[in-house]
Each structure stands twice: as structure tokens, then as C-alpha cells.
Amino acid sequence: RGLYCSRTAALGTARLSIVDLAGGTQPIENEDGSLVICMNGEIYNYLELTGELRERGHRFRTKTDTEVALHLFEELGAEFVHKLNGQFAISIWDKQAHRLVLVRDRPGIRPLFYHWNGKRLVFASEIKALFADPAVPRELDPRGIDQVFTFWTLLGDSTCFREIRQLPPGHFLTLSDGELSVSRYWDYPLGDAVEAGNSNRNDHWYAEALRDQLSRAVRLRLRADVPVASYLSGGIDSSVVAFLAQQSITSQLNTYAVEFDDPLLDESPFQREVALHLDTCHRSVRCAGTDIGRVFPDVVRHAEQPLFRTAPAPLYLLSALVHRDAIKVVLTGEGSDEVLWGYDLFKELQIRRFWSKQPDSRLRPLLLRRLYSHHPTYREARYFSLLTDFYRRHLLETDHRYYSHLDRWANSASQKSFYSSDVRAELDGYDPLTTLDSLLPPDFDRYSPVEKAQYLECHTLLPGYLLSSQGDRMSMAHSVEGRYPFLDHEFIEFCARLPARYKLRVLHDKFILRRAFAACLPRAIVERQKHAYQAPEIPGFMENGHLMEYAAEALSESAIRKVGLFDPVKVSRLVAKAKSRTLDRTGTRNNLAFVQILSTQLLHHFFVDQADESADIRPGDYDVAVQE
């Protein structure tokens, strides 16, 4: 822990030591003491930058990457960020200019929140840290909640709390002379794909180029003065990362995974196949449904926003195991589905557009059954009929800029029927799509349909949920840092230049990634269809036939009325369905509503009701089975 304090500024940190364990204490000042820096995160190319800066006369007191960022700012000013390869939230105070600079990494891996009242700025990596200041208001913002109930995540600088903003990914904030300004310094370079101009650039050439780029990204993320482990999901992305990591180190790689008692959710056979193939030291946590419910309050408290799924909970448990093993850093495969078009969403978009050309066809919608052939309920005629009707609603709106997401957003928006009359009145006239419109680049409509879908994923679920609620917030809850080779900005830019056929070839996703590593991994992994990571939902909150006590309390009619966000009668009906076990396990609207409403109620409890946000509703013991 460290602190800098003057009459006009104060900067402090609670550091997770990964580079220069003994000498990297923050805050750090430059040679003449005119600049002071605090940083959460890592600069992976700090060794190369150190050499460049030494040649320019800079003197270093430490061996940490934080000091490198400081001297680079001293050398280049605001342009310094373009030289950084990493994941970071940085604050720099310029004592002479009385100027504060905040900067957040490109894809939004590291969080950065702030409260600005026009005279005073308070900022932190967690919202709960802002609430340590009694001047920061504690009140939920219905507009932020409405965004989560529409998009499953927050947009832009929004949070679920009034008067608290987040610095968006790839943005720079400056406070000088009482004026606060926020500007973008980087965005996903979509629309830049180039077709091969010569015969040498065939499948083999692109496979080798991708392998080189990704290998570089993994090697950079292995830089640490502590051991680095890797997560295994059972899919190709994490398997590729683990393979490249094992190739780059001399010791045996530690790998970690989540297993489930429910065979429809469990991917442990594939995880173990990869671990055996790579000869890693593999451990996992095995989650029963009730393990999810027991830790869910803690998960919400760390996520600091409503959740639409319980999927962060197993990763919270997994990071606890990693921490107990004294591991501080893990590599993951997150980001591959966005930059290499791996999600079913992208294939679904192609099918819907194909179907829309003959909307009365009985054969074309059958491609959806092929897409979701791994999902047992999609094989049932009745369920598939409902699915076809669902996708038919917006089928012909192919010119809509949000065509790829219209069905998903329409489905999630149905949860708004649970809003109370007061919330409905406050949201009257507010359309979250208008907020989204304001965040899009001027040339968004020139992107291809799949690129539009990719841009939306990269600016909604990726930073707002996958990298935060399911990523950074769950790992850092146990002092574990996640690193994401697929989100190396140079790799992202390389993928943006790839011709589309190397990302999605007909309905074959991540084509060039599979081709590049076909000889390195088991065939079953390379050819395995994308499986969405899921965890038990409503059954996870049932214990001995009853709703867990804290959940019953949070969803009670009195608690719903007290918070005032939801209709108590409708919520009571939802709870009755949960108790009678009439809700389908596989992710119906009611499952979605249950998790969203419960997490919102818990959020209010921890951060609005309680002066001490860690008090009262707690999950108790959450020991889970550990598999060696």
C-alpha cells in the first residue's frame, strides 16, 4: 500500500505485486518529483520501452513497469499511451501544471470509475472504494439498470449508480483548471479487412502469420516475477493459449478449470484431454448447483452491477483455488470469439440473412437446428418450432443497423415487465438504443453485417460483462490477475486485417485459428463446436426444496416494496414458480428475470441500504470439491 498526498491531490494504491516485488511500491515519482503515478495493471512491453527511455537519458529507481509508463508520459505527454502494450488503469498527477490524467486500456480489461461534482474528482478501480468518501451519493440509477435489462451490460460511461461514471475502454480523461474532458484514443479497427493481393497469401500463409502474432502476445503475457498459470475451458481458445504458454516456459504449466455436477454443463472430459496432451499440472473446482447460490451475494458485491447469469460464480470459486495455490497470474482465452468471429451469434446472423431471402422456406430455418445441434432441447420439435417463431419476428429487417442483436435485445427487454410503476415513470421517454446510437462511430453503417455485430459485441458484453463481472472482478476478488493474449491490441489489429473468410468460412467459425493449431492439439478440441459457458441458475438457489434464506429475504414482498424498483406482485409470482420448480433449467425468460432481479436487490442491499457494504447478507461457507 502507498499514498501520495498534497493540498490539491491524493493518489493511493493497494498493489498486487507481480513485477519488481520488492521495489515497485506505488505511487512513484519521476526524477525531479514533478510527476506522480499510480497504475492498476501491466505494461507488457516495458522492457523494450525501458531501453528506449534510457537512451533518451531517463533514470530509473525501480524495475517496475509502472515507472516506465511515468517516464514515457514525461517524454511524450498524452501520446505515451500509443506506445503501451498492456492492460491498465493509470492515473498521473502533474504537480506543476495542476493537471490529472486518467487513462484506461484499449479493450477495457482494467476498470476505472469516478465521481465528478464539478469541483472535485474522486476515482478508483472499484465503486465500493468511491463509497468510502461520504460525499459520494449511494443511489441506484434506473437508466443504468435499464441498460443491463436491455443489453445485459452497461454502455459507454454508464454505471448503475447515480453520479458515478466509468472511463470507457480506450479513453483518456484530463482534469485541468477545473475543466474535465474525456476523449477516445483507440477503437476497434473494423472495416479494414484486405483481400490477399498475391498467390503467396494462402491459408498456410495466414495460419503462420496468426500463429506468430498470437505466440508473441502469449510470450509478453508470461512476463512476471511470479508463476503464471492458465485456465482451461475445454474449447480451442484456452487450449491454444495453454499450448503456447507451455511451449514458452521451461517448467510444467499449471492449469485450472471449472467442472459441474450437471453433465449438460460439464466440459471436464475436454479440459482433461488438453491437460493430458500438454502434460500440465491440472486442478479444478467441481461445482454443485448449490455452490452457485451460496457465493452469489459475494459475486454481486464484487461485480457491482446486476447480473443476468450466474456464470461469474464458478469463476469466483476457481480464482479462490488459484489464490490458495499461491498463483497470482492466469492466462485465459477470452476475446477470441470477438476478434475471430467465434460466437454462434455471427453464424446465426448469416443463417437469418440467408433465410430472409426466402422467408417462407421450410428448409432454410433448419440450419438453425444444425447450428445448435449440441443443445438437446433444440432437437425437440415443439421447442424448435418456438425457436423458429422467435427468429421470424425480425427476420426481414435486414437493413436495421442492429439486425444481429434485435432478437436478443427484444427477448431480454421482456424482463422490464417486472419494473415498478415508479421506475416506469422515471424511465418514460428514455430509450437505451438512443444511448447506443450516440456511442457508434460515424462510419458504423459502412461495416459489413458481421462487422457490425462484432463491433456491438466488443463494446457491450465484452468490456461490460465478460472482462468485468465475469473476468477482472471475479479474479481480483481473490488477488488473481487475468491476462488475455487474444486482446493484445496488435493481435486485434492483425485480425481486423484478415479477409473475412479466414474468420468465418460458411458456418465454420475461427477458421484460421483452427487451421493454425490443428497439429498442436487433439483433433476433438480443434474440431469441437463452440459451447457457451453456462452455470446452474434457479436450481442453484434451492436447498432442501426451499429457496436459500438470503434469496427468499431479498425477493420477499416487503424487500421488493422497500427498494421500489420492481412490482412486488409480479416478483411474488416469479418466486412461486421458482419454488414449484416449474421454470426450465436451460435459460428461459423467467430464469433471466430471477437472476437479474435478485442481483439488483442484493446490489441495493450492499451499496445503498448498508453504510458498510460488506455487512449483513453473506453467503457463508463455500468450500467446493477440488479435482487433482
Q: What pLDDT does 200 receive?
A: 67
pLDDT higher than 60, residue 408: yes
Domain match, 368 and 246 both? no
Same domain, 319 and 461: yes
> What confidence score (pLDDT) does residue 425 get?
97
Instruction: Return the pLDDT at 527.
Output: 94
**Same structural domain, 364 and 422:** yes
With 50 as the cut, is the pLDDT of residue 498 above it? yes
Domain enclosing residue 333, as ranges: 204-294+310-339+457-526
State percent of the chain over pLDDT 90.
Answer: 80
End-to-end alpha carbon distance in the chain: 35
Query: Residue 532: its pLDDT value, please?
Result: 81
Residue 165: per-residue pLDDT: 98
Q: Which residue has the cell 498442436?
A: 520
The pLDDT of residue 582: 54
Q: Which range, of 59-63, 163-167, 374-378, averages the lowest pLDDT?
A: 374-378
Last residue of a domain, one of 423, 450, 477: 450
Query: 203 exposed, middle or buried (CB, 10 Å; 0-12, 13-18, 19+)?
Result: middle
For 180-225, the pLDDT digits (tens) are: 999 999 999 986 655 544 456 889 999 999 999 999 999 999 999 9
Q: What is the mean pLDDT of residues 540-559?
A: 94
Range of weakest confidence among 17-21, 48-52, 238-242, 567-571: 17-21
The domain total for the chain is: 2
pLDDT at 626: 56
**pLDDT tops 80 at residue 294:** yes
pLDDT at site 617: 46
Q: What is the pLDDT of residue 581?
A: 66
d(CA 282, CA 276): 9
pLDDT above 70 (res 376):
no
pLDDT, tens digit (0-9, with 9 covering 90-100), for 455-491: 999 999 999 999 999 999 999 999 999 999 999 999 9
* Cβ atoms of 305 and 603 closer than 8 Å: yes
Q: Is 50 exceeded by the pLDDT of residue 621?
A: no
Please tell me which of 343-347, 390-394, 541-545 the model is most confident about, judged by mean pLDDT: 343-347
409: amino acid identity, one letter: W
Q: How confident is the model at residue 624 (pLDDT cuts 50, 70, 90)?
A: low
* Per-residue cell: 387: 425457436
Question: Residues 359, 401: one domain?
Answer: yes
Residues 226 and 322 occupy one common structural domain: yes
Do residues 323 and 210 both lie within one domain? Answer: yes
Distance CA(295)–CA(624), nearest Å, equals 11
Determine which of 105-114, 349-358, 538-547 has the lowest per-residue pLDDT on average.
Answer: 538-547
Residue 57 lies in a domain: no
Same structural domain for residues 395 and 514? Answer: no
Phi first, then psi, for residue 411 (nearest 5°) are -65, -45
Domain membership flag for residue 471: yes
Q: Which of the four pLDDT bands, split at 50, 70 and 90, describes residue 611?
A: low
Instruction: Please report the pLDDT score of residue 585 as a whole number.
Output: 47
Please give the Cα distance from 165 to 121 (Å, whole number): 11
Average pLDDT, the chain: 92
Question: Which residues, other chains included, contact 625 with Cβ-Cβ below 8 Å and sequence gap of 6+?
Answer: 285, 286
Residue 178: its pLDDT value, please? 92
Secondary structure E strands in 119-252: 121-124, 165-166, 171-176, 179-184, 228-231
Residues 334 and 349 in one domain: no
Domain assignment present for residue 150? The answer is no
Residues 331 and 214 in one domain: yes
Distance of alpha carbon 24 from the chain centroid = 28
Both 326 and 466 in a single domain? yes
Could you tell me if 330 and 219 lie in one domain?
yes
For the CA atoms of 63, 66, 69, 71, what is the dihedral angle to 10 degrees? -60
Residue 572 within any structural domain of the chain: no
In a domain, 574, yes or no: no
Is a pLDDT exceeding 90 seen at residue 45? yes
Percent of the chain with pLDDT over 70: 94
Count of CA atoms in the C-beta half-sphere (13 A) of 472: 21
The pLDDT of residue 336 is 98
pLDDT value of position 194 = 57
Write the CATH number for 277: 3.40.50.620
| Helix extents (H) in 543-584 | 549-554, 557-563, 568-580
pLDDT tens sequence across 413-430: 888 999 999 999 999 999
Say whether both 333 and 469 belong to one domain: yes
The residue among 178 and 582 whose pLDDT is bigger is: 178
Tell me how long the chain is.
628
Cβ atoms of 158 and 147 closer than 8 Å: yes
- Cell digits of residue 285: 473446482
175 within a domain of the structure (yes/no) = no
Q: Is 152 left (phi over 0), alpha (psi -120 to 50) or beta?
A: left
User: Of 417, 435, 450, which residue constitutes the final position of a domain?
Assistant: 450
- Residue 602 placed within a domain: no
What are the tens digits of pLDDT across the range 64-95?
Answer: 999 999 999 999 999 999 999 999 999 999 99
Mean pLDDT of 596-607: 97
125, part of any domain: no
Eight-class DSSP state of 498: S
Mark which of 498, 526, 554 sits at the end of a domain. 526
Pick 75 or 623 by higher pLDDT: 75
Q: List the one residue out of 218, 476, 233 whose CA is nearest residue 331.
A: 218
> What nine digits make up the cell of 157?
460511461
Pairing relationship of beta strands 329-331 and 228-231 according to DSSP bridges: parallel
Q: How many CB atoms lie within 10 A of CB 628?
A: 6
